[in-house]
Structure 1
Amino acid sequence: MTITFAQMGLYAGALLILFMTPGPVWVALLARSLSGGFQAAWPLALGVVVGDVIWPLVAVFGLTWLVTEFAGFMTVLQWVAVAVFIAMGAALIRHADLSLERNSRLTRPGMWAGFVAGLAVILGNPKAILFYMGVLPGFFDLTQATAADIAIICFLSFIIPLAGNLFLAASVDRVRGLLRSTFAVRRMNLTAGWLLIGVGVVIAFT
């Protein structure tokens, strides 16, 4: 294993901050939880897990090839990671008052329907692959990545969002009130936005 505990901690923290940012997965979980409770929401969380593993694998193997073919590409990707985090943070701050809407298309009953909905939400989001393609090189040296490193990266990429998604689904009554409060959504978006910018700054100087 070549990655350090400090790198793992920083990456895990970034994933946690990103989870705290309301987005398509939050909307999907909220919709299914409101329509069928936790029983309807947990299969969707498992569907999201598949995408949370696929995207890092695509990024790791694709970027590893590029890095070995083009000298200096890792440095470029590190600054891409910085730009991605700062841009995402700035976008959240700029649109801090944007409210969330429910998506009734995701509420079809059934475990399989929930799983497919979760998979569709994570795979159908073009920001996901852009995030991983731009962010992973900022945390890890992919040219030295071993099988154990890749396993740890994938594990962190799905376990933190999964835990958060299951907690979100179980706490839907309180979350529903939170997401309906313009002030709470604004405060949450502002906090997450500045934290994302902070992560970008840390990557720039490490």
Structure 2
Amino acid sequence: MRARQVAVSCDEVGAWFDAGLAVLAAARRRSGWLYGRQALMSATDALDQARRVARAFGWEAAALRPGLADTCLDAVALRLLADLPAGAAASGRWAEGLLDAVDLRMQRLHVSARRRAGAVVVPRLPHTPAWGPDGQACVRVTVSPTRGWRFGLDGLHGPPVRVVAGFYPAAIDEVVALAVAVTGGAFPDVFPGPGWPGPRLEER
């Protein structure tokens, strides 16, 4: 009896990892999106649960619609925004407090980020990809209660990168880790490269 229970447990673990691989593949296909670790874990749990229900009714995972992993990622992103603390949208200090926390964590990592109103700017590193018209643009981290976390190119208009992560301390660590990874070249195609004619923003 125990051997059978272990076998079932191993099958369940394998199914969870399969769900995780599907979520990772869906996340990597999404242009303009980055996901924190906890968001990926939550989407994996959601997809695994959906597949469990399908198996209970005799359906195989292959019979489920192909975009189910994307649906789970979208659901997690919406839930994170819905879980904002009461009054966050009305408080101008809420976003600034989160950005202060980002800046502090950057300092602890010995990253000389530049803090200014409404943003944290991450300095370029030796392996930072060439972004922006002159190839020298830096990553800008912003946050708002209606749009969540976003990365952009400092001083330039352009499509932002939406970062799916929460607003609690561990999630802020994830945002910082992603910002440093992006700056270090882990996602070289996340922003447009040299020659992109994005108009400059006014310096703040």
User: For this structure pair, what is the TM-score category when the shorter chain's length is used for normalisation?
Assistant: under 0.3
Instruction: Identify which of structures 1 and 2 has the higher relative contact order when contacts are C-alpha pairs closer than 8 Å and 6+ apart.
Output: 1
- If the length of structure 1 is used for normalisation, what is the TM-score? 0.27
Q: Which protein is richer in helix relative to its size?
A: 1
**Greater strand share, 1 or 2?**
2
Tell me the TM-score normalized by structure 2: 0.27
